[in-house]
Amino acid sequence: MRHKEGNKEKAIIEAAIETFAEDGFYKSKIVDIAKKANVAIGSIYVYYKNKDDILLKIFDQIWEPIYNDMKRIASEKSYTPTQKFEYMLDSVFDAFEKYPEKAVVFVNEQNRLMKERPKSFTNYYELFIKEGEKIIKSGIKSSEFKNLNVRIFRRFVLGGLRELLREWTKNPTKRSLNQIRDSVKYFCKTGILDK
């Protein structure tokens, strides 16, 4: 039996992340991914069903670790809802700080993919959202948070986060992301009015 030459599956998905980040999903060519991964075109179809399948697996890779982090945070009894909320934001920022190309793919491709392939899109994202909403609800219950519409609030915050990540990816330094972290936390907690 023949051995696999290194890890082609991993090389392909990493090349795809770079390519999708650079050119966008639709303008990315399989042949370019193959070149970047140093494999033949045919090898891509050995490890992945098609171009869509690669993107779907990238999103698995993005959301599984963030969700696992969330679970840990949510179950930590000693944290207040405010702390949990801040750590939740941090787990998203941390994940993308390590791998800015994934942030680019997230900000550019997730919404379209979720719309087009709702059944196939990673389940970890939905689980992440659920945990996040639970944290907000617990804060409302303990009167630490205002009683605002949880669904609207979490969409607003995630949308804002995505937009800031989009900007950050143009200059993905630790320092610029820290400024974003602090601003978002501060604003989410107390709003814009100075009183």
From the CA atom positions of the chain, what is the Rg in Å?
19
DSSP 118-142: TTTS-HHHHHHHHHHHHHHHHHHHT
Q: Which of residues 154-173 bind a copy of itself (CB under 8 A)?
A: 155-164, 166-167
- Our CB check for a copy of itself shows the closer of 1 and 152 to be 152
CB under 5 to 8 A by kind: which of DNA, a copy of itself, none does 71 bind?
Answer: none
CB under 5 to 8 A by kind: which of DNA, a copy of itself, none does 119 bind?
Answer: none
CA–CA dist 188, 149 (Å, integer) = 14
List Cβ<8 Å contacts ≥24 apart for 99-102: 99/17, 100/168, 100/169, 100/172, 101/17, 101/18, 101/21, 102/17, 102/21, 102/58, 102/61, 102/62
CB under 5 to 8 A by kind: which of a copy of itself, DNA, none does 148 bind?
Answer: a copy of itself
Asked if residue 169 lies in contact with residue 104, where contact means CB atoms within 8 angstroms, the answer is yes
* Tokens coding 165: 């990540």
CB under 5 to 8 A by kind: which of DNA, a copy of itself, none does 173 bind?
Answer: none
Binding site for DNA (CB under 7 A): 1-6, 8, 27-31, 39-43, 45-46, 50-52
- Our CB check for DNA shows the closer of 59 and 67 to be 59
Q: Does 22 bind a copy of itself (CB under 8 A)?
A: no
Residue ranges that bind a copy of itself, judged by CB under 8 A: 24, 26, 82, 85, 107-108, 111-112, 115-116, 136, 139, 143-149, 152-153, 155-164, 166-167, 179-180, 183-184, 186-194
